[in-house]
Each structure stands twice: as C-alpha cells, then as structure tokens.
Structure 1
Amino acid sequence: MKYIDLHVHSNASDGTLSPTEVAGLAASLSLSAIALTDHDTLSGVREAQSAALVLSDSENPLRIIPGAELSVAYRKKDIHILGLFLDINNKPLNDALHTALIKRDERNEKMASNLRSAGIDITVDKLKAVEGEAVLTRAHFAKYMTEHGYTKTNKEAFEKYLNDSSPYYVPRDYLTPEKAISLIHQAGGLAVLAHPLLYKYNLEQLDDLISLLTKFGLDGIEAIYSMNTGFDEGIVRRFANRYNLVITGGSDFHGKNKPDIGLGFGKGNLKVPETLLEPLENRLKIRSL
C-alpha cells in the first residue's frame, strides 16, 4: 500500500520548511503524492515540483499536486476550501489570490497596530524581515511573540491575543464560498472542504454548511485528518455519501509550527491511501466535460 498527503504547508505560507524541503521529506517517507496547499498562494508549487523530480526515486516517483487553501467567510467564521489539481498559471485565480494577499496585508497592519497598543513591539516589516516572502498569517504573529518573550508558547499567543474573540483580533475581508469554488473550478481544480469538524458546528449546522457548498459545486470533503478522534472519520464519510462528495485526506503539516503533526502520518496514525487519487481524478474528468 502506498500513501499520500493532500494537505501540506510550506514556508510559502505558514509552514517552516521550504517547498524543496517538503518535497525532500515526502520522498524520504516514500509518499507517492502530496498536495502543496499553502494559504492563498500557489507560489511554492513550482519549486516543490522541480525538487520532486530531483529528490524522489525514479522507481518510486513523488507527485506534487498543485493546490491552495482558500479562506472564505461563512456566518462570521473563517472556513477553508482546498483547491486541488489547480492550474498554477490560471489568471483569474492568481488575480484573486493577489487581491487576497493585499487584504491580508491590510489586516495584518491593523492587527500589529492593535498589538502595539498592548505593549508588544511588533510590525509587519519586522515579521517580513524574518519570514521573507511567506504569506503572513496569525501563526507568524504567534511565533514572533513567543520568540520575543511576550508569550511562552504559540498556543498562549492565540489564546491571549490572536483568537477571534480577542480585542486585538481583526477580521479579514474574505472571499465568499461561491466565489472561491468558482475560482477553483475555473483553474481546472477540485474544491474540497478542509477539516470540517474543526469548525465546532453541531451536526445540523455542519449539514447546512455542506448542503450550501454542494449547491455551489463542492467536489470533496476531507474525511481523513490528523485531528480526528473516535468516530470523526465515519461522521464525515456519511456526509460525503449524503452529498456525493469524494473523500480526501491530509495531515495539515506545518513543520515546527505544528510540531506534533508529521508529514504523511499526522499524529502518528494517519494513513491516506493512494487509492483515493482515482476517484478524485474521475471527478476531475467529469468536471471537465
């Protein structure tokens, strides 16, 4: 049995490994495919693909699936839609991602200003000096505050300063779910609801969300996930059956920013079989007709 990981981050957004390092790690673990799904950017995909050609074994090649994780607004919450098998040169998608990055920068400036009012010496320029061209997220704010002694851990930074009920938090101007799914389809990809149980909806509320997204053309749902416990996977699979959605799975790997989550194996027992790729590719064929 070969295994894959369809939810992976690099330092093109809020992971800590470069796309080349991610590809190298995937090859060393004998994964047959990973999807690079950085937040609101496709910038790391080409590097990861080039690295995979060099680093993976010719008898066991590593496939890099172009992806991105798009943030959308739903009932005052931040919901994530994965785009998989994307055309990284698609202009409408790249234009929308560029706009999202501008809005993200504006939000980051406001949040940094709020944090300075709390006595934290932080600016977006200081973050960029450390993180380079990475898409800045709240994880970078947390890392900075921990490294500079304002908090003991990244978790504490989120709990005290960065969660959406904090007075220092600034909401983003998000894409609508309908627009995000449309952009993914325009770029030749599949739209997948990421980690559906992390949003803490009850089953009726989750059904409402999935029903709405399906009307907009949702293709899949992430049923195999690092944070699943108990009957979680079965719950998501039942939603997939109800709404004719394909199943995906991924670790949500971020390197040292989520040190308890390993590429390809999550918290130790994650196994995403390569056999999931065939129904995904069949769905792609149907979508292209």
Structure 2
Amino acid sequence: MLVLTDMLKKHSTLVVCRKVVLMNYIDLHVHSNASDGTLSPTEVVELAASLSLSAIALTDHDTLSGIEEAQAAALVVSSSANPLRVIPGAEISVAYNNRDVHVLGLFLDTENSLLKEALHTALLKRDERNEKMTANLRSAGIDITVEKLKASEGEAVLTRAHFAKYMVEHRYTKTTKEAFDKYLNDSSPYYVPRDYLSPEKAISLIHQAGGLAVLAHPLLYKYNLEQLDEMIALFAEYGLDGIEAIYSMNTGFDEGIVRRFAGRYNLVITGGSDFHGNNKPDIALGSGKGNLQIPEALLEPLENRLKTRPL
C-alpha cells in the first residue's frame, strides 16, 4: 500500500489505483468586517493562506469596500509554491415574494460605476432601515442607536448580526439566536423590512460589472421544492449563472437537490462556507462545520461561463 509522508498542507490526498491525486480547495462565500464578519479583509486572507486554500471570494453584504485590502494582502502572503487568489465579489440582497434572497456576484469589476452607485444606494436604504429598527428596539427598553452600533463596528455595513452582537454584549439576550428569535426575525414586531433591489436588477448589475450572478444558499429560504423551482426558473430567465450547491448548512441529500436544479436550468455550481468569523463561530473558513470541501476544479466552469456568456 502506498505510504504518504510530509505532504504539503495545501493538498488533500486521495489514493486511487495506487496513484496520488492532489486536490486544492477554495471558498467562494466569505465575509469580513467590511460587512458582518469579525475579521478584517487582511486577517481573512492570512487565515485562508494558513489553511492552504488556493482561492477565496470576498462577498461582503452590499459592499465592495474590503476587496482592495484583501487583494493587497494576498500579494503579501502568496508565493509561487502557495499562491492565494482573491476573487472580488459581493452578496446582494434582493426582494422575492416579500423575502430577503441573496445573490452573489463573483469576478466583479470593483470600479464599475453602475454597480458602485447601486450598492451605495442600497447602503443608504439599509441605514434608513437601521434607524427605524433601533427606534423600535428602544421602545422595547433596549438602549441602542445606530451611533452606538457604529462606535463598536467602525465602517462595517451594519446588519442584524451586529444588532444581535450588541444585545448579547449588553446583556439584553444571552445568545445571538435569542436576539433573532425575540427581536430581529421578520415576524418580530420590531423588525423593519428593507427596500431591496429586484432580482432582475441585481443580476443585470452583476453582469454589467463583468461578473457572474449566483443564487446563494437556496435551501435556507425554506421554500418547498415547487416554490424553489419557480424562483430558480425566474432567476434563470433573468440571466442567473450559478447556484451555491456546496454549503456549510447542507445535510442529507441537500447538495444533490441543488445540483439537480443546476442541471435543469443550466447553472454552474459554486460552493462556500459563508464564513463570518466569531459572528458564526460554528462555521470555519474553507471547511464550514468541519466536512466542507470545495474543489478548485469548480473555478474552470465558472471562468468558462464568463467567457461564453453573451455581452
């Protein structure tokens, strides 16, 4: 039997018919403290390098602000033997059937003026929503303001994860789950819906910025299979390119279900951990809940889709 010693951490090793097959791994759904992660873009890149990932996509919520820093950090940590690629991305919230659905933009031109303007507008609308939500929470006896959130979070895009973190730190709730269950979920009397982009507009903006539009974590929206099929079919009509089939929260046959939708609508497959640092402490970069493996080989069909998609 073949014995392997001192293999590079960079590779997972499979032994098939006495031949060694080396596989690199990637993570195409990653957050930094430019939105609701807890690590800076530089720290995310340094962690990815320490885990020997060959590529990550930085996909902060409705912002491109961390990408330049992440790509600069990648130049520092990369070497010819262990290169690390940072793919510019964003996770864009859209409205579908009165729900918040997320579309990942990958391979984005971060200088595209149309996308930058749309994301800036989305952030302004997010700020308006946050002001209303903090007012609602103050009526419930919680001493919270947008200014207090920003004082601890800096220039990050404020999301409900920051609200939950604040409530735990100030002992209004014991856990972030309790914060969401009592105050922050969309059925709570304190919740305020956002004014979202339409799916068609978001996909169009991603394409105009030279990127691929990918439906993030499709099974998290809690639709039945018929409803999910309707949503994916509609998004595909708008030009959806891919779907996140490999994901931290998958169980059982989840990946297979999503892959069947990908085949039905000619969508490329992506995968990501949805890493947020300590805001989702059970999800690790690259490996999710411990067994996530996203092969680098997924990049080739994604890049082919970019080359062949009509302009």
SS at match of 2:309: helix
Aligned: 1:78 with 2:100? yes
Counterpart of 1:275? 297
* Match among 189, 194, 200 for residue 216 of structure 2: 194
SS at match of 1:34: strand
Counterpart of 1:24? 46
CA distance in structure 1 between the partners assigned to 2:279 and 2:178 by the alignment: 13
Write the deviation string for residues 155-203 of structure 1: whole angstroms up to 9, x where unpaired.
Answer: 1000000000000000000000000000000000000000000000000
CA distance in structure 1 between the partners assigned to 2:246 and 2:42 by the alignment: 25
| Mapping of residues 84-233 of structure 1, within 5 Å | 84-233=106-255
Counterpart of 1:12? 34
Q: Under a length normalisation based on structure 1, what TM-score does the superposition of the two structures give?
A: 0.99
Counterpart of 2:8? none
- Report the residue type matching 1:126 in the other structure: K
CA distance in structure 2 between the partners assigned to 1:130 and 1:79 by the alignment: 27
Greater CA radius of gyration, 1 or 2?
2
Write the deviation string for residues 96-152 of structure 1: whole angstroms up to 9, x where unpaired.
Answer: 000000000000000000000000000000000110000000000000000000000
How far the C-alpha of 1:288 sits from its partner, in A, is 5.4
SS at match of 1:146: helix
| Mapping of residues 37-76 of structure 1, within 5 Å | 37-76=59-98
CA distance in structure 1 between the partners assigned to 2:81 and 2:108 by the alignment: 26
How far the C-alpha of 1:58 sits from its partner, in A, is 2.8
Counterpart of 2:3? none
CA distance in structure 2 between the partners assigned to 1:148 and 1:188 by the alignment: 43
- Report the residue type matching 1:127 in the other structure: L
Write the deviation string for residues 192-248 of structure 1: whole angstroms up to 9, x where unpaired.
Answer: 000000000000000000000000000000000000000000000000000000000
Q: After TM superposition, which residue ranges in structure 1, 4 or more long, deviate above 6 angstroms?
A: none
How far the C-alpha of 1:59 sits from its partner, in A, is 1.1
- Report the residue type matching 1:74 in the other structure: Y
The number of equivalent residue pairs is: 289
Question: What value does the CA root-mean-square deviation take over the aligned residues?
Answer: 0.6
The sequence identity of aligned pairs, in percent, is 83
Q: Under a length normalisation based on structure 2, what TM-score does the superposition of the two structures give?
A: 0.92
Q: Is the CA contact (8 Å cut-off) linking 1:24 and 1:56 kept in structure 2?
A: no
- Report the residue type matching 1:285 in the other structure: K
Unaligned runs of 5+ in 1: none
CA distance in structure 2 between the partners assigned to 1:287 and 1:130 by the alignment: 43
Unaligned runs of 5+ in 2: 1-22
CA distance in structure 2 between the partners assigned to 1:167 and 1:203 by the alignment: 29
SS at match of 1:211: helix
